[in-house]
Amino acid sequence: AQSVAQPEDQVNVAEGNPLTVKCTYSVSGNPYLFWYVQYPNRGLQFLLKYITGDNLVKGSYGFEAEFNKSQTSFHLKKPSALVSDSALYFCAVRDRVNFGNEKLTFGTGTRLTIIP
C-alpha cells in the first residue's frame, strides 16, 4: 500500500521569505511523486513531478521540490514567497510499476498562508 504524510496542516510564511512544505511517502517500489495546488473553489493544479533523474525538480510558478530517497521525502520549496502562493498544497505518490495501478494517493494537504 502507498501512503503520503504531510505533517503540517498549516504553514505561515512572510512574503519574500523562503518556504518549505513537507511531504514524506511510503511505497513498495520506486515512486512517482507529485505536488498539486488547490485555490479556493478550484480544481487541483499540477505543479511538478519527480519521475527519475535529478533529485531537484523544478515546476510552475517558481516552485521546486527535492527528492530524498533515504528519507523518503519530497519537500516543496520556493526561494521567495508571494502572497498569491497562499493556497492548499497536496503531495501525491504513485507506484511506478503495475500498469492498471496508476491511482494517485494524496496527503491530507497543507494550507500555506503568505503574510504580507
Identify the bridge partners of residue 105 per DSSP, sorted by sequence position. 93
The dihedral built from the CA positions of residue 106, 99, 73 and 38, taken in this order, carries a sign that is negative
Min CB(35)–another protein separation in Å: 10
3-state secondary structure of 22: coil
Binding mask 19-58 for another protein (x = CB under 8 A): -------------x-x-x-----xxxxx--x-x-------
Contact residue for another protein among 20, 75, 77, 106 (CB under 8 A): 106
* Pairing verdict, β 10-14 and 110-115: parallel
Binding site for another protein (CB under 8 A): 32, 34, 36, 42-46, 49, 51, 90, 94, 100-109
